[in-house]
Amino acid sequence: MTVRQRILFLALLALSLSLNAQFGKNCEVRQFKINLLQPGLEYEMALGVNTTIDIRAEFQWGLNPFNTNIYEDIQLMPAAVGQYRYYYNFEKRQRKRRQIYGNSANYIAPTIATFLPDALALDDEPSQGVFGYAGMVTGLQRSYNSGFNFSLDVGAAYYLGSFEGGIYPVANLSIGWIFSEKRWCVGK
């Protein structure tokens, strides 16, 4: 090999290692999950090295903001939920030889949810208007080779709709299975 070919070879090798380090070690490209505790479907797609967008259509346990005492009534209601997750401990988990398959890591995420307006009833009459929340959560997700998956996140959100809005807690626990995935390089 000539000097020029060696330089070109080393440059291409360095570029490929750089690309692998940047894109190929953390987030799954995409995964579909089925949730059992909050029945529904979930789709998570990688946007970057440590970031994903997570979208869920499910029946979610939630506070009923139409009651005067919001904590008095927790109901199962249809919801669409979105999160922009930033996973902050992939590298630490890998250093400790823990698995990161299925985005097994801790995260912080802005979160939004929209609930079907007619899903809630107050005094046996359907609620009117839009109901939802926007806030911030921190959480963890763990996935196993069998496909079993769970995630837990907690935080606070501003609830808004045809009632007096306010900041209230948010907590989600999802237990289910990954039934379809597109894996990138997820480390060792």
183 pLDDT tier (thresholds 50, 70, 90):
low
Q: What's residue 124's pLDDT? A: 58
- pLDDT higher at 133 or 22: 133
Taking alpha carbons only, the member of 52, 94, 58 closest to residue 181 is: 52
Taking alpha carbons only, the member of 94, 97, 168, 99 closest to residue 131 is: 168
Both tokens of 125, joined, read 């009459």
Q: Which residues contact 156 (CB under 8 A, 6 or more apart)?
A: 135, 136, 167, 168, 169, 170
Average pLDDT over residues 50-73: 80
Both tokens of 73, joined, read 């009534």
- pLDDT higher at 2 or 110: 110
DSSP 37: T
Q: Give per-residue burial for 62-85: e unless 16+ CB within 10 Å, then b.
A: bbbbbeeebeeeeeebbbbbebeb
Q: Where are the domains of the chain?
A: 3-182
Amino acid letter, 89: N
Whole-structure pTM value: 0.76
74 pLDDT tier (thresholds 50, 70, 90):
confident
| CA–CA distance, 133 with 164 (Å, rounded to integer) | 12
